[in-house]
Amino acid sequence: MNRGTAALRPGEQSVLLALQSLGTASRRQLSLVTGLPRTTLTAAVSGLLERGLLAEDEDTGPRTGAGRPATVLHIALANRTVAVVEFGHHAQATTLVSYDGRVLGRADLPARAERSMSAVTTGITENIRRMTATPPDSMVVALGMPVLSDGRGLRHARPHELGGPSPAVPLPAWIRADPVPALEAVFMTPLQVANDANLAALGEAEHGAARGARAAVFLRVLGGYGAGIVINGRLFSGAGGVAGELAHVSVREDGALCACGGRGCLATTARGHLDHPGDLMAFFDEAVGMHDVLGRAGHDPRAQRYLTDIGRTLAEPLASFLTLLNPDTLVVDADLGPGAAFVISGLHAALRRRVTPPAFQALRIVRGELARHAIAVGGSVLARQRYVDALVSPQRRLGPGESGADRRHDQPRVGVTDVRTGQVQRRKRPVRSVD
């Protein structure tokens, strides 16, 4: 019998569950953790290897004796891929990433305001086709705006609407309103939507500067202030999906109304926009952009001072939050390049004064490692977690912050477009037991 589409047996489920928390394990470790009888364990491991759900590697740890090298097992991820589509105000791109976090390709995706939904989805299809001959197993959409718990992007005013600078690239209205139905109608892979700073946090926590952190906060500076929170390897997006929205922390009780419905949000203040042309002109006495400032960070004391000030500004909304959450790692966006050191220095000085000492002493403030790939790598972590969760617990219910789109896309529908070929498929793909 072909077991490729059959449900998992209880022993197989136990092995996957153990590997979900252990990462890798030898057969002996699996036997101890699962408590399964030897014959059941052997059959479960063989069955999972046969179905391609497990992979086996040589153990690279210290050898304990002579003879055949020991092997370790892990959930097979290397051959599964996700297409991460970024709709940010400064970057739009499609990135193909394996579930184990390797970036396999990246292509720009023009998504300017005047572009229609069909032009953008055609662009995504072409991006993917250029990068792979195999359709990705899932898709993650990264939005440069808060993502509500129903998977919709929060429509709120952008800086230029509040008197600040225009975004480098205004996004089409349909992306800002609700891109899920539009994308759902076109693509046939499981789809998840998340805020881009949150994804970058997940990427850095799993594969970057916050590896091994119990509670990590990622701080995005370029392209709008934002933060992402990862606790024990899982993204925390809050009951309404807006956890980490640094730009919407109120810093002026009697400040201006913000389009999010709040008052005195950081986004409404003059200091809420690091790339405000007026501020840059006043500070540098010449027309410079943020990229010039970052380029001068190595040698121009004014640029260094400007970046240090940004760190001090961000410390204000962060300080109470860091005391209350008491994270071990604060990652500053590596997109700042050499400028990150000065932002960190400003943050460090201001947070030392304002965060309670036990929380400050436990906090590492570090520069990110993934730079422009942080969001896409985070998207692969989200896709992998969803895949493994579904493997170990097929009946798992959706948690807060997960898009309802997940469930509707668990099986491909008839008559939808293949993300690789752009061809409309009339037949369902073989039903798999996962995804």
Specify the residue, 148 or 377, whose C-beta has the smaller distance to Zn ion.
148
Least separation, in Å, of the C-beta of 262 and Zn ion? 4
Specify the residue, 76 or 157, whose C-beta has the smaller distance to Zn ion.
157
Q: What's the token pair of residue 382? A: 């989200």
Among 80, 158, 248, 273, binds Zn ion (CB under 5 A): 248
Q: Among the candidate windows 49-57, 140-148, 257-265, 370-378, which touches Zn ion by CB under 5 A?
A: 257-265
Q: Which residues contact 64 (CB under 8 A, 6 or more apart)?
A: 70
Specify the residue, 188 or 260, whose C-beta has the smaller distance to Zn ion.
260
Specify the residue, 51 or 248, whose C-beta has the smaller distance to Zn ion.
248
Measuring CA to CA, how many Å separate 244 from each of 95, 210, 219, 235? 24, 17, 9, 11
Q: Among the candidate windows 121-129, 255-263, 273-281, 347-355, which touches Zn ion by CB under 5 A?
A: 255-263
Alpha-carbon dihedral 314, 320, 326, 330, rounded to 10 degrees: 0
Give the sign of the dihedral formed by CA 141, CA 146, CA 148, CA 149: positive
317 closest CA partner among 257, 364, 267, 367: 267
Among 44, 97, 142, 265, binds Zn ion (CB under 5 A): 265
Asked if 264 interacts with Zn ion (CB under 5 A), we say: no
Q: Among the candidate windows 24-32, 113-121, 123-131, 241-249, which touches Zn ion by CB under 5 A?
A: 241-249
Least separation, in Å, of the C-beta of 191 and Zn ion? 27
Least separation, in Å, of the C-beta of 143 and Zn ion? 16
CB 33: neighbour CB atoms within 10 A?
A: 16
Least separation, in Å, of the C-beta of 314 and Zn ion? 16
Specify the residue, 146 or 412, whose C-beta has the smaller distance to Zn ion.
146
Distance CA 172, CA 352 (A): 42
Q: Among the candidate windows 23-31, 244-252, 343-351, 364-372, which touches Zn ion by CB under 5 A?
A: 244-252
Among 181, 240, 262, 277, binds Zn ion (CB under 5 A): 262
Specify the residue, 238 or 262, whose C-beta has the smaller distance to Zn ion.
262
Q: What's the token pair of residue 127? A: 């991006």
Specify the residue, 256 or 281, whose C-beta has the smaller distance to Zn ion.
256
How many chain residues bind Zn ion (CB under 5 A)? 5
Least separation, in Å, of the C-beta of 367 and Zn ion? 28
Q: How many residues does the chain have?
A: 435
Q: Which residues contact 314 (CB under 8 A, 6 or more apart)?
A: 219, 221, 225, 246, 343, 346, 347
Least separation, in Å, of the C-beta of 248 and Zn ion? 4
Specify the residue, 30 or 154, whose C-beta has the smaller distance to Zn ion.
154
Distance CA 22, CA 284 (A): 52
Least separation, in Å, of the C-beta of 196 and Zn ion? 17
Least separation, in Å, of the C-beta of 250 and Zn ion? 8
Least separation, in Å, of the C-beta of 40 and Zn ion? 55
Q: Among the candidate windows 33-41, 79-87, 254-262, 424-432, which touches Zn ion by CB under 5 A?
A: 254-262
Cβ-contact 376, 84 below 8 angstroms? yes
Asked if 258 interacts with Zn ion (CB under 5 A), we say: yes
Site string for Zn ion, 195-234 (x = CB under 5 A): ----------------------------------------
Specify the residue, 93 or 246, whose C-beta has the smaller distance to Zn ion.
246
Least separation, in Å, of the C-beta of 197 and Zn ion? 15
Asked if 260 interacts with Zn ion (CB under 5 A), we say: yes
Q: What's the token pair of residue 333? A: 């966006």
Q: Among the candidate windows 258-266, 336-344, 351-359, 385-393, which touches Zn ion by CB under 5 A?
A: 258-266
Least separation, in Å, of the C-beta of 259 and Zn ion? 7
- In the complex, which residues of this chain contact Zn ion (CB under 5 A)? 248, 258, 260, 262, 265
